[in-house]
Chains A and B, each alone.
Chain A
Amino acid sequence: MTDRVPVLKIGDVLLVSIQVDLEDQMVMDLQEDLSQRIVDTGAHGVVIDISALEIVDSFVGRMLATIAAISRVLGADTVVVGMRPAVAMTLVELGLSLGGVRTALNLEQGIGALRRARDQGPVGR
């Protein structure tokens, strides 16, 4: 059996902390779990923590964009937090910019950003 990525609820925000390198099946499961949880809890925000990831490639990049898109359809904003400097540099070298995905330095700022976004209405970047 493959592991599942846990989806945790903090107030009205869902936290997805990715700790291991993802495989196709895990990504599918995560999308399913997350969309179900958003609907169940009525969360207005999703924080994806990738501080444990040492490698972020186009596959992970696409997954993040997909999750963000799904969440947006369900009325929740997505913030990706905790990207490592080395990861950011690799992504830039690869020419990827994670377009359409909001980022924040750490979990605290990510949740802060989501809270502000809720208070002010959707803030596009």
Chain B
Amino acid sequence: MAQDESGRLLSLLTDGQDDLVARWIRTVTSSLAGRLTPAEVQQDLTELYRALLVAVREGGTATRGEAFGEVRSLLTELSRNRARQGFSPTETAISLFALKEVLEPALVESADVAAFVRFSRVLDDLGLYTVEVHAKTREEIISAQAEQLLELSTPVVKLWDGIVGVPLVGTLDSARTQVVMEKLLQSLLDQNATHAIVDITGVPSVDTQVAQHLLKTVVAARMMGAECTISGIRPQIAQTIVALGIEFGDITTKATLADALRHALHRIEQTRVPAGIGGQA
């Protein structure tokens, strides 16, 4: 019986191939509202239909089986591309479900409800698969962007001979602290810098967590032998810091980057003069 159904389904799919594909393409193109050209849709779907036909012929309705390997890889590529182009998972899945719509009249006419149900189960399964791949692709994109953001948002700039600055923009979490620290320490080494200024003008809020991360960065820079100043503390943030009872200990803090730079230059001047005398002595 099941063999029969598959056979009938298969013959239907094979006989009406051109007509079905054409109608499928039309349905999908209209559902995507012109965001993909009919030519693109045609290419995707024709290939998919061919693979689906082969898969049904060989593997029946076991969509997770080996026979559906090619269908799955085609679908993976399709949903990846759609995800990158900004289509929603529904729009991607509908591309598949549209085939049901197209097949429905033909199968209902021949009163082959059982075959239709079986085939629609296959399509449901494949539809779910595209959603899965779609979601996974979006996640990949998001994590890649987060990484890029991390790279972009933490520059270390040379402010003066021996002074490097880190203008922090955005919230500090432990992952960013790690990146900031890494870059700062490396640039201390590269620039032979004795002073570092961490500017937090762009940090929207400072809580105990953020303060902890700042302290870590400062302590690490100190251990490398550099003096570290925190600048860019806005009035509200100063109030928050005191209200929360955050202790910056003996770390120098300044209101503006300019103040911090002046302080650092002053410190460098202080250390330079006696060294000169020492050299003469």
Interface residues of A (CB under 8 A from B): 79-81, 83, 85, 88-89, 91-93, 97-98, 102-106, 109-110, 112-113, 115-116, 118-120
Contact = CB atoms under 8 A, between A and B. Distances in A.
Contact of A105 (B178, B188, B216, B274): B188
Contacts of A88: 185, 220-221, 223-224
13 contacts: A79-B225, A89-B220, A92-B219, A92-B223, A103-B225, A105-B188, A105-B226, A106-B192, A109-B225, A110-B225, A115-B275, A116-B275, A119-B278
Nearest to B226: A105
Contacts of B192: 105-106, 109
Contact of A81 (B220, B225, B275): B225
Interface of B: 178, 181-182, 185-186, 188-189, 192-194, 216, 219-226, 271, 274-275, 277-278, 281
Contact of A119 (B193, B226, B274): B274
By DSSP majority rule, is chain B's interface helix, strand, loop, or mixed?
helix
Contacts of A97: 219, 222-223
Contacts of A120: 274
Contacts of B223: 83, 88, 91-92, 97-98, 103
A108 B51 CA distance: 70
A35 to B, nearest CB: 24
A79 B194 CA distance: 14
Given A83-B225, A105-B194, 14 more contacts: A81-B225, A85-B188, A85-B189, A88-B223, A91-B220, A92-B181, A105-B188, A105-B224, A105-B225, A106-B225, A109-B225, A110-B225, A113-B271, A116-B275
Given A85-B186, A92-B223, A119 B277 contact: yes
Nearest to A110: B225
B100 to A, nearest CB: 56
Contacts of B178: 89
A88 B186 CA distance: 11
Contacts of B271: 112-113, 116
A68 to B, nearest CB: 14
Given A89-B220, A97-B219, A116-B271, A105 B185 contact: no
